[in-house]
Chains A and B, each alone.
Chain A
């Protein structure tokens, strides 16, 4: 009689293992979150003060510099994350799937649907260096 009310050994162990999945996932996520937080600090990109005028592809960034007038975009295509590394006929063109953006970052040809991400930056008055926060 008592045997019927007992949970079989295998089923019990499986349930324990199942229960362990949830805290394992929590620990896994937590460890990555912390790792990413540490990484975020290094997402600061410093541009040299003598960066060329015009359009420069620099370390994951597209810098559009016209004297003091500076705009910085992420070079990551908004469609699937490819790195945009060229300007053709006044368009930034994604080499992987062919999306096109104007020089102001607006999407003009799909498959991308979103504009390029414009990034904030500060300029160090003393050194002239431009600090971009890319993350």
Chain B
């Protein structure tokens, strides 16, 4: 009796809350769904369901409203049908139902789920197609009959006819009959129907049924099947899940016959299973993203790309659709954008609105012609890495590339971060992998944020403007954005008088997205630090103020730094651009994260300048990406052999080898043809200079500075370049003197299969500085001194190599710093002496600009790379021994040429006049 009383009071509560019983509400919802379904059948086209719904959304708001009513009534039907079952179990009323009716009711559970999922499938969007395939596969798991059941319910893979018939007729009629038999009513209760119709109309008005944009990477089934999707993610054998649910249905069928205790346990089991399933739904709905990976709901593209905004607008139900205008189909889906934006030009073919529409890049809502709704959640600057996964990287376009770019060194700045942290004493490794946009708030981190962190691809481009010297970041468009003169003009009109073209009969010139990557694209970031962009064009930074510049030969950059013209790189003089050497795999990365830029770079001088037989590839063996670029750049491919890089065998798509082994390079943008030259005989001589890199001789100058000091100024505001916010206090750099001189040389060691390989490379004083952290850490005398040289390719290649003396008799080249390096005879012995220009630094006793101590084995130099170092004492002595010879013998003399082949053998034959350095005492007697 108390149970019965409790049930009655609960029933009363439900009645008060919902106006009726769950069963009546379910029936009322079913009735509304059926009626709205009949109306929905009019605009719905079973041959092209997706686009017929897209057309409803775009041009037929009344039909879309009916669809929303159909959608919401169906959801209410499902929820209240389940609640009704729970009600039955709660009150144990299942025992009152006749045996045959209970069996049919149990079977109708399957019909309820089928009518729901078939409705979902009939949307025909990407989710629906996958749901249909999954359902088909599941039905196939049923032994023997699976195939036939699947075909009978779902029909052909590419047709919706059978599933449509089963949705609107078979299951609907079956369910109605079951309801009639169960409730003993033909029509739903009028009061419940009208009451719930109000809820459904409100829900339909404010939360219209959406349509999944097919370019959305997240695939999810309907909310009530997300628990299953979550389960299937864990189960390799879906038949297990199927067996479990079949047993559950059988258990529900047998429930009225189960004796008391077992019956109660079974009910508890069913309820706990339902609760567990609801938890799985919540996980699947909120925490699963692309490829069913765990994702925070805040970052889940599922919630950011649902193409229908939450609020619809009342006046849209009366929108007058202009039937003269066309609703175009792009990438297989109808798009409303070009209904208004009729006349935009300036795109490359593959990015034109006729091919990919507008929403592929700009997102927003393509299924409407209402401006406000269409522009909801629109991305104004696509290609920024924050949106690239959904825009450039959407599944129809470049999904593999956005992942690669995300790991590329131009995005992570890993090398810059690791060296900075090493210098600041916060890390003992130079090779740790970092992402600059994830750094914290340590001294080194704030230093990076204040001074360096704007130059990375994940920095958001926020302004509409062509790429210029002040541009930073922008993801894909950092390199691929191009503005024609007309596009610049249209942008100017937009920014000054807010005039938007392309809508009212005039033409809008849109900026282009193309492969026309110019030197200007690289310039903004690469005119800093190693300054390779300015070096390449022959400009060296000075410390002059722009007001002091009044003669030719100087250039003031947009950031007001003044540069002096020195000597451009020979490749620049000939007309080559950055993009002519650098390829897609090193610029966009190859997917791996690298610690330093030289690890990601593929191209080497020797890839184009070599004397042996070229290593080539033909187009039919080429990788997909290279071939695509060859085609997009309109380069000829037939019967052509292309060079490949020595590292990773990447095709150099703008080179070709003709039959007589002449090799050419074509400017990717300019289409100019350049014959590639083989190295001079002196470069090919096997002997003393085997270990020299091309750069070590051919780098004409490198920008260098002396006496840098970095300190924290606590009372001044700085800028956090990652966020654009202010920082309390700021790090400031003070530099000493700037030089443009041939670089210092040192050794880079590489582990190869045949042992450690040494290569002489070019170095610049990357970090000779004091870092005063006292004000940051509030510790007295917290000052760090570092003297690290960095291997650097300065991009100032000269056709002619350095002279012998510029290395062997030059203290800067060897690492001693600036000063006089003199060879003299003392007591009949040759002695090298060095007088430094700069005073010794109190921190390590070396001249301010030096890397190493003069012939001092205790003062060798360290580098910003673990595999790079200065010359050791033995190497210094060998260099200076040749230097001694050069004090008498001319550089181009026969004897010096011979010395290149076997210097040691030559030493054994020196004349009595020769006075070799003191470390060769025995030899000078011969």
Question: What 1/0 flags go to B217-260 for Cβ under 8 Å of A?
Answer: 11100000000010011111110000000000000000000000
- Taking CB atoms, residues of chain B closer than 8 Å to A95 are 130, 217-219, 290-292, 395
Question: What 1/0 flags go to A97-109 for Cβ under 8 Å of B?
Answer: 1100000000000
- Taking CB atoms, residues of chain A closer than 8 Å to B129 are 83
- Taking CB atoms, residues of chain A closer than 8 Å to B280 are none
Q: In whole Å, how far is A77's beta carbon from the nearest beta carbon of chain B?
A: 8
Q: In whole Å, how far is A125's beta carbon from the nearest beta carbon of chain B?
A: 17
Cβ-neighbour of A98 out of B217, B291, B624 (below 8 A)? B291
Q: Are A88 and B403 neighbours in the complex by a CB distance under 8 Å?
A: yes
Q: How large is the interface on B (under 10, 10 to 19, 20 to 34, 35 or more residues)?
A: 35 or more
B860 contacts A by Cβ under 8 Å: no
Instruction: Give the segment of B132-140, B364-372, B523-531, B773-781 that binds chain A.
Output: B132-140
- Taking CB atoms, residues of chain A closer than 8 Å to B235 are 111
Instruction: Give the segment of B59-67, B615-623, B755-763, B811-819 that binds chain A.
Output: B615-623
- Taking CB atoms, residues of chain A closer than 8 Å to B136 are 81
B627 contacts A by Cβ under 8 Å: yes
Q: Please judge, given known A-B contacts A76-B133, A88-B400, whether A54 and B232 are in contact too, CB under 8 Å.
A: no
Q: Are A32 and B236 neighbours in the complex by a CB distance under 8 Å?
A: no
Minimum CB distance partner of B155 in chain A: A35
- Taking CB atoms, residues of chain B closer than 8 Å to A36 are 147, 151
Q: Are A32 and B238 neighbours in the complex by a CB distance under 8 Å?
A: no
Minimum CB distance partner of A29 in chain B: B148
A4 contacts B by Cβ under 8 Å: no
Cβ-neighbour of B151 out of A32, A76, A83 (below 8 A)? A32
B867 contacts A by Cβ under 8 Å: no
Q: Please judge, given known A-B contacts A54-B628, A82-B134, whether A113 and B291 are in contact too, CB under 8 Å.
A: no
A94 contacts B by Cβ under 8 Å: yes
B93 contacts A by Cβ under 8 Å: no
Q: Are A83 and B400 neighbours in the complex by a CB distance under 8 Å?
A: no
Q: Are A53 and B152 neighbours in the complex by a CB distance under 8 Å?
A: no
Q: How large is the interface on A (under 10, 10 to 19, 20 to 34, 35 or more residues)?
A: 35 or more
- Taking CB atoms, residues of chain B closer than 8 Å to A29 are 145, 148
- Taking CB atoms, residues of chain A closer than 8 Å to B233 are 97-98, 111
Cα A129 to Cα B151 in complex, Å, equals 31
Total of A-B residue pairs, C-beta within 8 Å: 108
Q: In whole Å, how far is A117's beta carbon from the nearest beta carbon of chain B?
A: 13
Interface of B is mostly: helix
B625 contacts A by Cβ under 8 Å: yes
Cα A55 to Cα B235 in complex, Å, equals 29
B853 contacts A by Cβ under 8 Å: no
Q: Please judge, given known A-B contacts A81-B137, A83-B130, A111-B233, whether A89 and B623 are in contact too, CB under 8 Å.
A: no
Name the interface residues of A59-96: CB closer than 8 Å to any CB of B.
60, 66-68, 76, 79-83, 85-90, 93-96
Q: Are A81 and B151 neighbours in the complex by a CB distance under 8 Å?
A: no
Q: Please judge, given known A-B contacts A32-B152, A52-B628, A111-B235, whether A82 and B130 are in contact too, CB under 8 Å.
A: yes
Q: Are A55 and B624 neighbours in the complex by a CB distance under 8 Å?
A: yes
Q: Are B236 and A112 neighbours in the complex by a CB distance under 8 Å?
A: yes
Q: Please judge, given known A-B contacts A35-B151, A82-B133, whether A68 and B156 are in contact too, CB under 8 Å.
A: no
A128 contacts B by Cβ under 8 Å: no
Cα A98 to Cα B220 in complex, Å, equals 12
Q: Are B400 and A89 neighbours in the complex by a CB distance under 8 Å?
A: yes
Cα A32 to Cα B233 in complex, Å, equals 32
Q: Are A79 and B232 neighbours in the complex by a CB distance under 8 Å?
A: yes
- Taking CB atoms, residues of chain A closer than 8 Å to B623 are 53-54, 66
Question: What 1/0 flags go to A106-127 for Cβ under 8 Å of B?
Answer: 0000111100000000000000
Q: Are B236 and A94 neighbours in the complex by a CB distance under 8 Å?
A: no
A39 contacts B by Cβ under 8 Å: yes
Cβ-neighbour of A68 out of B152, B237, B620, B627 (below 8 A)? B620
B502 contacts A by Cβ under 8 Å: no
Q: Are A96 and B219 neighbours in the complex by a CB distance under 8 Å?
A: yes
Cβ-neighbour of B219 out of A52, A55, A82, A87 (below 8 A)? A82
Cα A53 to Cα B157 in complex, Å, equals 28
Minimum CB distance partner of B238 in chain A: A80
Closest 10 CB pairs of A and B: A54-B624, A67-B620, A81-B137, A95-B219, A98-B292, A81-B133, A53-B627, A97-B233, A111-B236, A80-B137
